[in-house]
């Protein structure tokens, strides 16, 4: 045996698996993978969850191929798990129990743009920002803009009903989806919703949006286009305390202004971001508020002035208006890369995503700092303040002894505090595997049973992304069992 052979492990050997053979015959051998490297990679997404074990990984290029995958998986009694860009933060795309993973990245064509009716048909693997870039020269954009928009897919956005800074005025993903082509776990193709403004019958499209892959795989999506607004003003307000920033947000909404976006960042996160983008964020401020108004040229200056006044009335220490598009883009780049920028401080983070009534923002924030302090963990806060959507980031180094327990305990208290303030579990990242244990706190047992029945109507055999969203006992699959499948990925 040469040195090379000894070092290089060779191609992954696996017994000829009939499931794999059939999948490869239905797609092509290159587009169905089963090697240890691939399985290890697709066992993860952007969340902290580590227990994923994937089966064969398929890269379909058409609806027909997705149907074929679903039928083959059914014959072999295996589940299917759709995956977009793998930026989910709640573990939605994590494969449990060695299912067939259906990676949608190769189905990334923009199929048709109908400017007259304001609709575009796209494949699910289209990247959110690519769609907007494609539309911009035509005077349109796709409004939901998650901070991960440069990479996340429209299919993933639909599955998680994702939001973004500009969803304050425009709404999250749901209202921007007109119709969906869906392949169920049994291989049936459905068309949900329609291009009419008010399609007749039950809104099954709305049921699918936010279903996190548990009702099937969407293979074609009709999104609504939003016209670009002529005027935009972006303000950066600095405050000594995050409470002042939160109060300004409430004051702006109370004054009847509907800004396109209102985002708050606390001091620590502002510093991390500034270090990365050099956009001139004030690193001495206790918190900053990034507010944007858009609309007709004449109106935006009036709104911007009123936000400035309200900020000053709430003790703003500085108010800056972005001078041009470059400055505006830089400020947004800072906000949108906030989650990544924290790695300059410590290698791991646990991001929460609760929503509380806007009037309780300042109080809940105080509680969060107190909880973090008590558990001796570092917390930073970024919030879609206009919606009351909190994103407390717990930052740590996973290599430190006992740190996971403290992070877990602090996280649970933060969620409980948010729920106690009348909030909900997830603003936009979804339930996935991460928030499941808390579903019991939010819903009654009856509620959960009904949800499970709805799910079963789409997925009678429980093979669409099992083990997600609905907690144990209310879902068709026993999660513990799914998690304990013993295949060592590198084995």
Residues that bind ligand FAD (CB under 6 A): 45-46, 81-89, 92-93, 104, 124, 146-148, 152-153, 155-157, 159-160, 162-164, 212-213, 217-218, 339-340, 428-429, 465
Choice between 175 and 340, CB closer to ligand FAD: 340
- DSSP 8-state symbol, 410: H
Q: Which stretch binds other proteins (CB under 8 A): 3-11, 159-167, 184-192, 257-265?
A: 3-11
Q: d(Cα 204, Cα 212) in Å, to the nearest integer?
A: 14
Nearest to 318, CA basis, from 235, 417, 433, 428: 235
Question: Binding of other proteins at residue 10 (CB under 8 A)?
Answer: yes
Question: Whole-number minimum distance, CB 381 to ligand FAD, in Å?
Answer: 14
Question: Whole-number minimum distance, CB 266 to ligand SF4, in Å?
Answer: 21
Question: Whole-number minimum distance, CB 327 to other proteins, in Å?
Answer: 16
362-371, Cβ contacts within 8 angstroms, sequence gap of 24 or more: 362/242, 362/243, 362/246, 362/247, 363/421, 364/390, 364/417, 364/418, 364/421, 364/423, 365/242, 365/243, 365/246, 365/390, 366/243, 367/414, 367/417, 368/392, 368/414, 368/417, 371/410, 371/413, 371/414, 371/417
Dmax (CA) for the chain in angstroms is: 77
Going 203 to 206 to 212 to 216, the CA torsion angle's sign is positive
388 binding partner (options ligand SF4, other proteins, ligand FAD, none; Cβ < 5 to 8 Å by kind): none
Question: Binding of other proteins at residue 23 (CB under 8 A)?
Answer: no
146 binding partner (options ligand SF4, ligand FAD, other proteins, none; Cβ < 5 to 8 Å by kind): ligand FAD
Q: Which stretch binds other proteins (CB under 8 A): 84-92, 279-287, 297-305, 420-428?
A: 84-92
Question: Binding of other proteins at residue 139 (CB under 8 A)?
Answer: no
Crossing angle for the helix pair 361-374 and 403-420, to the nearest 10 degrees: 160
150 binding partner (options other proteins, ligand FAD, ligand SF4, none; Cβ < 5 to 8 Å by kind): other proteins
Bridging pattern class, strands 100-103 and 57-58: parallel
Which residues, in sequence order, are CB contacts of 10 under 8 Å at separation 6+? none
Residue of the chain from 82, 86, 423, 427 that contacts other proteins (CB under 8 A):
86
Q: d(Cα 397, Cα 375) in Å, to the nearest integer?
A: 15
Q: What residue ranges bind ligand SF4 (CB under 6 A)? A: 340, 343
Choice between 89 and 279, CB closer to ligand FAD: 89
Going 178 to 456 to 128 to 69, the CA torsion angle's sign is negative
156 binding partner (options ligand FAD, ligand SF4, other proteins, none; Cβ < 5 to 8 Å by kind): ligand FAD
Question: Where along the sequence are the contacts to other proteins (CB under 8 A)?
Answer: 3-4, 7-12, 35-38, 40-42, 44-46, 59, 85-87, 103, 105-106, 108, 125, 127, 129-130, 133, 148, 150-151, 276, 337-344, 347-349, 397, 399, 490
């Amino acid at each position: 045996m040469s040195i090379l052979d000894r070092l290089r492990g060779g191609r992954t050997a696996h017994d000829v698996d009939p499931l794999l053979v059939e999948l490869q015959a239905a797609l092509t051998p290159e587009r169905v993978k089963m090697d240890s490297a691939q399985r290890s990679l697709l066992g993860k997404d952007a969340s902290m969850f580590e227990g994923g074990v994937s089966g064969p990984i398929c890269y379909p290029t058409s609806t027909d191929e997705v149907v074929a995958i679903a039928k083959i998986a059914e014959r072999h009694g295996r589940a299917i798990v759709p995956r977009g860009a793998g930026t989910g933060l709640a573990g939605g795309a994590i494969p449990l129990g060695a299912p067939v993973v259906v990676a949608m990245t190769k189905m990334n064509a923009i199929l048709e743009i109908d400017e007259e009716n304001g609709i575009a048909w796209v494949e699910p693997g289209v990247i959110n920002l690519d769609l907007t870039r494609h539309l911009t020269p035509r005077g349109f954009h796709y409004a939901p803009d998650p901070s991960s928009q440069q990479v996340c897919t429209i299919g993933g956005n639909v599955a998680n009903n994702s939001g973004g800074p500009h969803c304050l005025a425009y709404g999250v993903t749901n209202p921007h989806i007109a119709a969906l082509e869906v392949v169920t776990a049994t291989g049936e193709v459905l068309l949900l919703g329609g291009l009419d403004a008010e399609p007749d019958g039950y809104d099954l499209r709305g049921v699918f949006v936010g279903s996190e892959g548990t009702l099937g795989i969407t293979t074609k999506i009709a999104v609504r286009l939003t016209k670009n607004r002529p005027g935009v003003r972006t303000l950066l307000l600095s405050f000594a305390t995050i409470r002042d920033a939160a109060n300004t947000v409430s004051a702006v909404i109370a004054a009847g202004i509907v800004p396109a976006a209102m985002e708050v960042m606390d001091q620590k996160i502002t510093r991390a971001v500034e270090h990365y983008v050099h956009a001139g964020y004030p690193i001495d401020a206790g918190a900053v508020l990034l507010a944007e108004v858009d609309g007709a040229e004449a109106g935006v200056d009036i709104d911007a002035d009123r936000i400035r006044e309200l900020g000053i009335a709430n003790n703003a220490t500085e108010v800056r208006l972005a001078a041009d598009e470059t400055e505006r883009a830089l400020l947004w780049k800072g906000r949108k890369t906030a989650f990544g920028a924290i790695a300059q401080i410590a290698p791991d983070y646990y991001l929460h995503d609760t929503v509380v009534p806007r009037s309780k923002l300042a109080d809940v924030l105080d509680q969060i700092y107190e909880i973090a302090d008590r558990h001796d963990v570092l917390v930073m806060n970024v919030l879609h303040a206009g919606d009351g959507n909190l994103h407390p980031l717990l930052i740590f180094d996973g290599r430190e002894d006992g740190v996971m327990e403290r992070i877990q305990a602090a996280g649970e208290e933060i969620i409980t505090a948010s729920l106690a303030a009348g909030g909900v579990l997830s603003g936009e990242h979804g339930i996935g595997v991460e928030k499941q244990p808390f579903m019991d706190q939010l819903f009654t047992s009856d509620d959960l049973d009904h949800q499970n029945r709805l799910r079963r109507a789409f997925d009678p055999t429980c093979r669409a992304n099992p083990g997600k969203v609905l907690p144990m006992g209310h879902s068709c699959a026993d999660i513990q069992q799914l998690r304990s499948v013993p295949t060592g990925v590198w084995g």
